[in-house]
Amino acid sequence: MIKIDISNVWGSVEFADLMAIEKEVAAAHTTLADGSGAGKEYLGWMNLPTREVTPEITRIQAAAEKIRANSDVFVVIGIGGSYLGSRAAIELLQGPNRNMGKGKGDPQIFYAGNSLSTRHWNELCRLLDEKDFSIAIISKSGTTTEPAVATRALRWMLERKYGTDGARERIYAITDPVKGALRQMANEEGWQTFSIPPSVGGRYSVLSAVGLLPMAVAGMDIQAVLSGSMDAKESYDLRSYENPVWLYAAIRNLMCRHGKHIELFESFEPGFQMFGKWWQQLFGESEGKDGKGLFPVTAEFTGDLHSLGQMIQQGRRNLFETMLRFDPPEQVCTVGSDVKNLDGLNYLAGKQLDFVEENAFLGTVAAHVDGGVPVITVDCGTLDEKKIGELFYFLELSCGISSYILGVNPFNQPGVELYKRNMFHLLGKPGYENM
């Protein structure tokens, strides 16, 4: 079970505050579990964890093996929850540089449809030049602008390279089971498809085919991911503060009530950056409505200590930190010695790098707490596929409970539609002329 250390929040939050909010946490958990709250039609994510090898999982694994065998590159087309979850898992487990040295048998994985940048598109074209590649199109509707633009271009590239029949074998659609433009297109073209359950929203979809197919193509054990999420589902149904989900949801809401309106989500792992972005969307899109919600920000230490450290230490006292920690890997690295010692580092000679990092962590927490910044520490234990599955479910459950404590619907996002309407009007999309 994930462990939450709240010893460094006292002073900003009192024990009496924690006791006073307990009934709200219990009520929010009951509302979520009973399916009686706002957005109850989007609770399908709670049923995604499983230890069973389902027919859908078998199909995902077979498709992944086919892609690994015939492709140097696998391109995931999607935006927001359609790509952040799988990228978060892959890079957290395998590192941000996992594409280096990869190819057929263990493909490079690139992402498209998450921007409208011509430079990004030109770079992707260069990366695909003379490479065998396959694509997954991830969209419930098939009409979201960014993924739809990328789909048109990459489909044309595949058909030009392999012909219509050959391209058909390299296109995978992950979409609504029965409706939408992408479902219609996939049915007409004969592409292999996987379904996004209608009751699962995009930012909660990582444990469906949306996240599992790219993870499997990356060589991850997706059955272990799902098993870890099932462990979480069983463990985190506990209805007391012995449940770390309760502690996290309660403390972050208390922080908000005490004027700490920014949550800085951090880790000492460079591969954490995309996981932070997944968390950022999950909580930002779930809680940021009705003039409420914590503003979610992510950082990677120690690197960002040299850019954000000054602001954290002595800037406005309107933030708190949530820091993820993982056990050291089995393969260790030792600091070497140098006869001249011009860098003054011989005092660390023979010490393991994990020892240095641990003390950097302890020193950082002590400094930030002394500077008036509360720190929640989330001890995750071993970093592997099971832990990633547990983390996903832990944070999704925390988000649902926290949102209901806040008094908002965790599963809608009405605000994101405004920029789209404005953009469609400016682009001249039919039906948006008279805005």
* Active site (catalytic) residues: 285, 306, 420
- C-alpha 247/C-alpha 401 separation (Å) is 11
Residue type, 420: K
Q: Output the six-digit token pair for 312.
A: 């954290």
Where does residue 291 fall: left (phi above 0), alpha (psi -120 to 50 degrees), or beta otherwise?
left
| Alpha carbon separation from 319 to 21, 248, 340, 366 (Å, rounded) | 20, 15, 44, 16
Q: Is 38 helix (H, G, I), strand (E, B) or coil?
A: coil
Phi–psi pair at 92, nearest 5 degrees? -65, -40
Asked if 420 contacts 210 with a C-beta cutoff of 8 angstroms, the reply is: no
- C-alpha 29/C-alpha 404 separation (Å) is 8
Chain center to CA of 232: 17
Q: Is 214 helix (H, G, I), strand (E, B) or coil?
A: helix
Asked if 223 contacts 53 with a C-beta cutoff of 8 angstroms, the reply is: yes
245 C-beta neighbours (distance < 10 Å), count: 27
Q: Is 357 helix (H, G, I), strand (E, B) or coil?
A: helix
| Alpha carbon separation from 435 to 49, 414, 420, 426 (Å, rounded) | 43, 17, 12, 10
CB contact burial 50-62 (16+ within 10 A = b; e otherwise) = beeeeeebeebbe
